[in-house]
Amino acid sequence: MAEPACNGKLSYKPLFKLLIDKGLRKKDLCMIADISPATVTKMGKSGYVSTEVLLKICVALDCSLCDVIEIESDMR
């Protein structure tokens, strides 16, 4: 039996909204989560980041993974 195709992509929009709600800038996120600016740039383009990075962000912001990412469906 074939696996169903995933027609979506990860979005980090919830993270960027959370930063706004907490009054933080992307630069602040880099410092408190100990991640590079290049990683945050990748996230802004819905690029791949490791689960280790996601864990660092969740710990630094005291939030859960669902507060950081969401799946956007690809409606074609």
Q: For the segment 22-35, what is each residue's pLDDT rounded down to a tens digit? A: 999 999 999 999 99
The residues that bridge with 72 in the sheet, in sequence order, are: 9
pLDDT in tens, 36-74: 999 999 999 989 999 999 999 999 999 999 999 999 886
Dihedral sign (CA 34, 32, 57, 17)? negative
Q: Class of the 8-71 domain?
A: mainly alpha
Which three-class secondary structure state does DSSP give residue 10? Answer: strand
